[in-house]
Structure 1
Amino acid sequence: MTLILRLLLKAAPLIFFFLVARALKGVLQASQYGRGSGGADAPPYGKDHTGQGGSAGRRGKDPYVVLGCTPSSSNEEIKKKYRELLGKYHPDRFIGQKLDEEFIQLASRKFQEIREAYEKIRQMRRF
């Protein structure tokens, strides 16, 4: 009985990491629907700049939605959220963890999308 308990205690961090990685992979894949053909099965990810819902590609996504902010958010809030998302989706964080290449590519695309959204907001607000 104690042997089984010891094995479970040693395996718990690995199991936890595996479950978190799978959940993160699902989130990253779900966020990619906004770039596709806009089929009926694609969940709405954001609104384009015309105010219409749907998938208008990378350029059509509202940068505030990508960063999880609102247009009324302060510059400091936007910067804080940007730094938080960069740390969460930085591809270097996943490379040494023996994850599949597709997962790392999804993280890289999300990382680039976050950087582009922040740059758009910076240009609009001139900070």
Structure 2
Amino acid sequence: MSLHYHLIDPAVLMNAAGDDEAGFAELLAMFVRIVPDMARQLRDAVEQARGADVAQHAHSLKSCMSLVGAFDCGARLEQLERAARGGTPEAAAGFDELHELILAVLAEALGCYAATTRIPGLVTPDIV
């Protein structure tokens, strides 16, 4: 994990894994496996103006982002969640930029996963 990260903080995830490298890799694999679908569901909810679903998906993604230390992205998802819960018509304003940030976090997490799986002796979980 000697790479420099801008959007995530692998130390946050390592702490959540109890400083266990195998647990870290498993949690990271889970993140990169589930976030794409979660992002798609959020985008669909935003595009279809389903406020309750936007709030729910933003909340779930926010939790995932906090797991990997992507606090800026998490804060923006929290803003979207609050706006959607409040029925604010502008809730989806700037969503394309937020979606790009989510994808950038995912790309950085994938890079971290790739670096992590090269640790000698580390069990590599499958990403489907």
Rg larger in structure: 1
More relative contact order in 1 or in 2 (CA 8 Å, sep 6+)?
2
TM normalised by structure 2 equals 0.41
TM normalised by structure 1 equals 0.41
